[in-house]
Structure 1
Amino acid sequence: MVMTLTKDDIEELRSRLEDSVIKCSERCLYQSAKWAAEMLDSLVPSDEDDTDTRSSSMETDTTPTTNPFLPQLDPAEAALEARESHKYLLAKSYFDTREYDRCAAVFLPPTIPPVPLSTVSPNVRSRTSLTPQKGKGKASGTPSSRGGHAPAQSPYPKLSQKSLFLALYAKYLAGEKRRDEETEMVLGPADGGMTVNRELPDLARGLEGWFAERRELGLESCGQGWLEYLYAVILLKGKNEEQAKTWLIRSVHLYPFNWGAWQELNDLLPNVDDLKQVAGMLPQNIMSWVFQVHCNQELYQVNEDTHQTLNELENIFPNSAFLKTERALLYYHSRDFEEASAIFADILVESPHRLDGLDHYSNILYVMTARPQLAFIAQLATATDKFRPETCCVVGNYYSLKSEHEKAVMYFRRALTLDRSFLSAWTLMGHEYIEMKNTHAAIESYRRAVDVNRKDYRAWYGLGQAYEVLDMSFYALFYYQRAAALRPYDSKMWLAVGTCYAKMDRLQHSIKAMKRSLVAGAYYEHAADSADANHPTGRKILDPDTLHQIATLYERLGDDEETAAYMELTLQQETGEVERPDPGSDDDDDKNSDNGAGAARRRSDDGDVEVVGGTGVTATTSKARLWLARWALRHGDLTRADQLAGELCQDGIEVEEAKALIRDVRARKEGGR
């Protein structure tokens, strides 16, 4: 993908972002407005010579027909907006002071029910309205199942789309606010699926009627994208994900610069296949490119294509903190913590009061055990705004690094009190409960995390750990597999899968998972060192612990040949001697996994060995050396057994066993056997 934007394209993009800031602010979508404003500010600057030309062109050419993204605003909408201007200003002032019910009442008076459903019981309404059924006259505009042709009718007064959106969005937020109030404390008795937004059923059915009436009047193509977005959010809350996806795609076609719609669509794409399927349905403009980079980052797709697209976007938005954050998270996912930390530090220098994404930075510093830096950003965030979820997560990570887990949980709970959909807090609180041995609370925290975002592999992995602690290997295996599906090149995920299979005595499956862990580890090493001049092939040592576990699994299967081969491989990792790849083989992954034992048996046939650095003597390699010494003794190779036993005495590990072996070897030699 090559993005080539001319000077005119840049100016058009600038005007579209300016338009987005205004329109999102008018509809009180403040996060989307902030995102558009930041992208606008980071856009490549215009030439100073063109400033006057641009301003004069904007003054003279204000007709919406020049806009390639938006449909033309019809005169009826313009007339309605002009007529409602004073009421709109009143409603928005109420919204800005968080008087949501009062805001909605400006356009939808409470004396007039928004949906004429008095004959339907509330329970039935809540079950059916969020999932429109085929055959219903109001939902589809088709004849009613009771006979006759009932024309679809909007339950709302004749309003402009802007005013109607503001009123319905206020009702939606009023319901969300009441739901949070009824839920009370985080992880309390009422914190679960029992409390719902009671406004959702009426909002869903009302919008169904409004859209059906528009279809019958032939006005379906005159939508502005905002009510479509709100309807998708309501459907998403009702777990009607497929229809929500359809309406979100329609929304971004009608108005591509509402970043909130793209974020909701991202949440509905659990894997790369879904992203590829949706990509062909999206409008082909710069917002679609930004969206795909964001989705690839969320799906841990750290590859050259993603970085290349990000490079091209950064040429257009050279100072975008959002794109820099995406880059840092890509490095974080590939375990390049130093590079990710450096990018976040640069963002913090440029915008010291920017708290967006700071929870990710604190996670990176936590992994790096960089306590002074973590303490600094905790102080900085607290001084900026102590009642932001990001700030609470940063402070919680700081206390967790100090092993003050109770204080850490307190701050993660505070973050969730401020925003119950804040993913980082749920996952991190689960980690803390694991440390505190409160397994059941950890499981509930992780479950809430995957409810918020099914792509959070840390939460799936945490669930696996929790059930493994409870000796429920079947459940643990399921959750580890979900984590491994999200992170197929993470050796830690496959190692956990293999351990679970071993506990369930499914040894062949365990061996396959362990070998895949070796391949995954080699993948990350290759990604980190592909540009290393000393190791142009990117080949590194294998994990000796994993190799030793594979060897012991073969021993449990009674396959002594394979056991010996993998013990030899384990021992090789001390010096880092690995066989150079066969030029005639194209499948390095299979060579590292299924044929690794064969490589060990052939290691000294032609002497074609490459040294890439090793681990030195470890407890695991000493165990392998002891096993090989006993193996050599059993097979009469007394010289090899004596050599390995002597090395064990020098290592200072398994010394008593080594001395006993040396005595056995000498006794056999003296006995002439």
Structure 2
Amino acid sequence: MSSKLQLKTQQLTQLCQEHLSSPQIVSSQLLKAIQQLTKRGLVYSARWCAELAFSLESKSQERTKVSINLYNENELEQKECTAFLLGRRYFDCREYRRCAECLKNLENETSVFLRCYSLFLASEKERLDSSIQSIKALQTRQLEPILSEICHFEKSQNGMLSGFLCYLCGIISRNLDRRKQAISFFIRAVVQFPFLFDAWKELSHLVSVEEEEESLNASLPQHWMTAVYYAMLFMERREYEDALQLLNVLLSYFPKNTFLLSQIAYLYYDRRDFDESALYYEEMRRNDPQCIDGMDIYSNILYVREQQAELSMLAHHCILVEKYRPETCTVVGNYYSLRGDHEKAVIYFERALKLNPHYVSALTLIGHEYVEMKNTSKAIEAYRKAVDIQPKDFRAWYGLGQAYELLRMPSYSLYYYRKAASLRPFDSRMWCAMGLCLEEFGKLQDALTCYERALKCEDREVVVFRRIAHLYDQMGDSEKAHSFYLKELELREEDGLDGSETAEALGCRKLLF
């Protein structure tokens, strides 16, 4: 952790302590924000705020009464109010079973009605879904006229634009590839309305290190939501320790919050600490059994672990909860892939893509399946689409490298592996792949540099020691080769892995020298 980042994290931690010390005030602010967001149809930001309000720990909640205009001024206990608001947000997002689950312990007439009605709609939705054969493509939007109309409105308001309209201008600008303009609008949005979570999320994806250091520090509001933003930003940049520290601070104020738990789970997943990641995803499932968010990533973990029975149960559960969700289709696709049914896996990944055309994970997984089927042209097509949508997706760049490796085109492979390594410099797989390509070109010293870089990564592979030993053999340095063969054998014995090949190589060396 750099001293600058450490200082920033400490400042944000202090900001949280100052602004989150009164749960009642924070809860009241969140409830008001939910109403404003709901009025404008910003349902996902409203849901996000409702989940925070629901998870907010307050000893005084049971005694506090609040008046909510949304429900004809009926007074509800605050804990019931936040639960009902959360249920409504799930309802608005058409997550009917999550709505019913959220309201199951509430006894007032409105909650009982909404719970029963949600179960009815979930049943109807499942019946209708079973007859759907195709899904319409998203219609193209005429973005320029909308932006012009908002700008005209801004002039009529003497240059004043609400945070919500700034957010709308931001997403239009982003879709028009006007990145700096989009950033400017998103900053204006969060300054005026800090609870606009979607705007913070967009900022974390768009802002570069230089821009953040030069302008953002002074521009962002002194609000605890800024800590949420920096947690997401640190994760984007893979500053794991700083991100984890902020997420744990926030989790101490919003215990069991689904979003915060999912972020921590994904952080460990991105670090390839699958065991720790799985624990957080399992906690999410215990807290919210009807939640599908993040289950696609959890299914990747089960896939890597080759836990076919658990993956089968997860797929079955997701289908029951929400059949036509991209996450569900991904879970099912991973299940079929683990069974070796790659064609069926592609069908489900393509279904996920139809449900969300910008779902990069589905494109990357489609590419992986085509690689398994040795259909390199289709694999390359899928990977290229993925990097067009998300140029920062190292998995797609790495997949392109593998596809061209199958075509025996090492110069292309090396180019794509380099792109992947630039995005994922701490991942030993990227450096190992580059090393193998360089070996093919006979650039042994460059290959050795790559393998040595792989050894510095936390997730270093045992096989790297053998690759280095083999290179030293070729370069005529028998002493170093011997030491690396021994090191690999020691590590294999420690991990309980088969070391017969390494032992055989060492035996041959003893006969030669």
C-alpha contact (below 8 Å) 2:19/2:224 kept by paired residues: no
Name the SS for the 2:383 alignment partner: helix
Asked if residue 442 in structure 1 is aligned to residue 379 in structure 2, the reply is: yes
Q: How does 1:6-21 map to 2 (within 5 A)?
A: 9-21=22-34
Which whole-Å deviations, capped at 9, do the CAs of 1:21-50 have from their partners, x for residues lacking one? 222221112211111111111111241586
Asked if residue 234 in structure 1 is aligned to residue 172 in structure 2, the reply is: yes
Q: What amino acid is the match of 1:329? A: Y
Q: Normalising to structure 1: TM-score of the pair?
A: 0.60
C-alpha contact (below 8 Å) 2:367/2:378 kept by paired residues: yes
Distance in 2 (alpha carbons) for counterparts of 1:575 and 1:507: 25
Q: How does 1:592-671 map to 2 (within 5 A)?
A: 617-630=499-512, 632=513
The corresponding residue for 2:365 is 428
The corresponding residue for 1:28 is 41
C-alpha contact (below 8 Å) 1:299/1:486 kept by paired residues: no
C-alpha contact (below 8 Å) 1:302/1:333 kept by paired residues: no
Structure that is richer in helix per residue: 2
* Equivalent residue in structure 2 for 1:263, among 201, 209, 214: 201
Q: Report how far residue 364 of structure 1 moved.
A: 0.9
Distance in 2 (alpha carbons) for counterparts of 1:252 and 1:392: 34
Distance in 1 (alpha carbons) for counterparts of 2:19 and 2:40: 31
The corresponding residue for 2:120 is none
Change (3 A) 1:506 1:276: farther
Change (3 A) 1:283 1:453: farther
The corresponding residue for 1:334 is 271
* Equivalent residue in structure 1 for 2:149, among 189, 199, 206: 206
Distance in 1 (alpha carbons) for counterparts of 2:388 and 2:401: 16
Change (3 A) 1:11 1:333: same
Which whole-Å deviations, capped at 9, do the CAs of 1:310-355 have from their partners, x for residues lacking one? 1110111012011111111122122221221122112112211111
Q: Report how far residue 575 of structure 1 moved.
A: 3.2
Name the SS for the 2:238 alignment partner: coil
Change (3 A) 1:615 1:404: closer
Which whole-Å deviations, capped at 9, do the CAs of 1:507-552 have from their partners, x for residues lacking one? 22211111101111xx347xxxxxxxxxxxxxxxx72x32232233
C-alpha contact (below 8 Å) 2:466/2:488 kept by paired residues: no
Which whole-Å deviations, capped at 9, do the CAs of 1:285-326 have from their partners, x for residues lacking one? 2211112212323333322x3222111101110120111111
**Larger CA deviation: 197-206 vs 456-465:** 197-206
Change (3 A) 1:96 1:349: closer
The corresponding residue for 1:564 is 479
Change (3 A) 1:243 1:23: same
Distance in 2 (alpha carbons) for counterparts of 1:20 and 1:481: 45
C-alpha contact (below 8 Å) 1:497/1:513 kept by paired residues: yes
Which whole-Å deviations, capped at 9, do the CAs of 1:194-220 have from their partners, x for residues lacking one? xx8350232233334444x25xx6x33
Distance in 2 (alpha carbons) for counterparts of 1:433 and 1:400: 11
Distance in 1 (alpha carbons) for counterparts of 2:424 and 2:336: 28
Change (3 A) 1:230 1:6: closer
- Report the aligned-residue RMSD: 2.8
C-alpha contact (below 8 Å) 2:468/2:484 kept by paired residues: no
Change (3 A) 1:402 1:206: same
Change (3 A) 1:460 1:278: farther
Distance in 2 (alpha carbons) for counterparts of 1:380 and 1:467: 38
* Equivalent residue in structure 2 for 1:297, among 218, 231, 235: 235
C-alpha contact (below 8 Å) 1:32/1:260 kept by paired residues: yes
Which whole-Å deviations, capped at 9, do the CAs of 1:40-86 have from their partners, x for residues lacking one? 1111124158625x779xxxxxxxxxxxxxxxxxxxxxxxxxxxxxx
Distance in 2 (alpha carbons) for counterparts of 1:619 and 1:277: 54
Q: Report how far residue 390 of structure 1 moved.
A: 0.9
Change (3 A) 1:430 1:50: same
**Larger CA deviation: 403-412 vs 6-15:** 6-15
**Larger CA deviation: 430-439 vs 447-456:** 447-456
The corresponding residue for 2:5 is none
Change (3 A) 1:480 1:277: farther
Distance in 1 (alpha carbons) for counterparts of 2:449 and 2:20: 55
C-alpha contact (below 8 Å) 1:396/1:409 kept by paired residues: yes
The corresponding residue for 1:417 is 354
Q: Report how far residue 568 of structure 1 moved.
A: 2.3
Q: What amino acid is the match of 1:254? A: Q
Q: Report how far residue 455 of structure 1 moved.
A: 2.8
What is the aligned-residue identity percentage? 36
The corresponding residue for 1:114 is none
Q: Report how far residue 614 of structure 1 moved.
A: 7.4
Distance in 2 (alpha carbons) for counterparts of 1:230 and 1:315: 32
Name the SS for the 1:573 alignment partner: helix
Change (3 A) 1:627 1:17: same
* Equivalent residue in structure 1 for 2:340, among 394, 400, 403: 403
Asked if residue 282 in structure 1 is aligned to residue 215 in structure 2, the reply is: no
Q: Normalising to structure 2: TM-score of the pair?
A: 0.78
C-alpha contact (below 8 Å) 1:501/1:509 kept by paired residues: yes
C-alpha contact (below 8 Å) 2:20/2:26 kept by paired residues: no
The corresponding residue for 1:245 is 183
Asked if residue 457 in structure 1 is aligned to residue 402 in structure 2, the reply is: no
Change (3 A) 1:567 1:262: same
Q: How does 1:371-386 map to 2 (within 5 A)?
A: 371-386=308-323
Q: Which has the larger radius of gyration?
A: 1
Q: What amino acid is the match of 1:450? A: V
Name the SS for the 1:560 alignment partner: coil
Distance in 2 (alpha carbons) for counterparts of 1:96 and 1:320: 18
Distance in 1 (alpha carbons) for counterparts of 2:289 and 2:93: 26
Change (3 A) 1:201 1:626: same
Name the SS for the 1:4 alignment partner: helix
Distance in 2 (alpha carbons) for counterparts of 1:278 and 1:478: 34
Q: Report how far residue 257 of structure 1 moved.
A: 0.9
Name the SS for the 2:456 alignment partner: helix
Unaligned runs of 5+ in 1: 57-94, 98-179, 184-195, 526-541, 578-610, 633-673
Change (3 A) 1:6 1:515: closer
Change (3 A) 1:370 1:614: closer
* Equivalent residue in structure 1 for 2:427, among 490, 502, 507: 490
Change (3 A) 1:272 1:456: farther
Q: Report how far residue 233 of structure 1 moved.
A: 1.0
Q: What amino acid is the match of 2:392? A: K
Q: Report how far residue 15 of structure 1 moved.
A: 2.2
Change (3 A) 1:624 1:7: closer
The corresponding residue for 2:114 is none
Change (3 A) 1:453 1:406: same
The corresponding residue for 1:546 is 464
Which whole-Å deviations, capped at 9, do the CAs of 1:572-627 have from their partners, x for residues lacking one? 332359xxxxxxxxxxxxxxxxxxxxxxxxxxxxxxxxx97775633134224423
How many pairs does the alignment contain? 436
Distance in 1 (alpha carbons) for counterparts of 2:236 and 2:459: 18
Q: How does 1:459-474 map to 2 (within 5 A)?
A: 459-474=396-411
**Larger CA deviation: 254-263 vs 202-211:** 202-211
Asked if residue 504 in structure 1 is aligned to residue 386 in structure 2, the reply is: no
Change (3 A) 1:574 1:198: closer
